[in-house]
Amino acid sequence: MDDLLKSMESLIDLSVHPLSNLSNLSAYIRFTLPDINWCGFYFLLDGVLQLGPFCGLPACIMIPLGRGVCGTAAAADQMICVPDVNLFPGHIACDANSRSELVIPVHLDGKVIGVMDIDSSVPDRFHEPEIELLTKAAERIEGSLAINRTIWAFNV
């Protein structure tokens, strides 16, 4: 797990546009961790989660706060691990293959500004210590966004 975190950290370059880091981290998680079919970010713009960089099939563009797994995690400022998406009330199905999901809030200046969303085609896919690894990856992204604020007009 330490090696994976180091690899993720090495993908985050503070001198480049944040979109580049978010895109690369999405692709790395999608293709390096087993059985991941979608990984990406949603960011709050005008109080609605809007699709950011991702790797996977095209996804829904806007998710209201409190809706779906992403909107619920953002509204509650809480990581949500869903072993069976069919049992999560209001789950938004973007990829019909997704069976389980992990959503981790992303913060800036102590406020939720978005989420990192990871989907798997395998039921009950997400467990420790991988959840901790992915939480640390989200924290690294938070750190990079705090330093390089060049483009985001986060209005949370």
Query: Residue 53, SS3?
Result: strand
CA dist., res. 32 & res. 28, Å (int): 6
Rounded to a whole number of angstroms, the minimum distance from the CB of residue 61 to ligand SME is 10
**Token pair of 54 as six digits:** 């991702």
Asked whether position 43 contacts ligand SME by CB under 6 A, the answer is no
Asked whether position 112 contacts ligand SME by CB under 6 A, the answer is no
CA dist., res. 91 & res. 68, Å (int): 4
**Token pair of 96 as six digits:** 């019909």
Rounded to a whole number of angstroms, the minimum distance from the CB of residue 147 to ligand SME is 27
Rounded to a whole number of angstroms, the minimum distance from the CB of residue 122 to ligand SME is 14
* Sequence-ordered alpha helix ranges (H) in 1-156: 2-11, 18-32, 68-76, 130-147
Among residues 94 and 137, whose Cβ is nearest to ligand SME?
94
**Token pair of 67 as six digits:** 């809706």
Give the x-and-dash track for 59-98 against ligand SME (CB under 6 A). xx--x----xxxx-------------------xx-x---x
Asked whether position 38 contacts ligand SME by CB under 6 A, the answer is yes
CA dist., res. 20 & res. 139, Å (int): 17
Pick from 12, 30, 101, 125 the residue near ligand SME by CB under 6 A.
101
Neighbours of 13 (CB within 10 A): 13
Pick from 30, 117, 126, 141 the residue near ligand SME by CB under 6 A.
117
**Token pair of 5 as six digits:** 């975190």
Residue nearest to ligand SME (CB): 68
Asked whether position 48 contacts ligand SME by CB under 6 A, the answer is no
In the complex, the residues that contact ligand SME under the rule CB under 6 A are: 38, 59-60, 63, 68-71, 91-92, 94, 98, 101, 117, 119
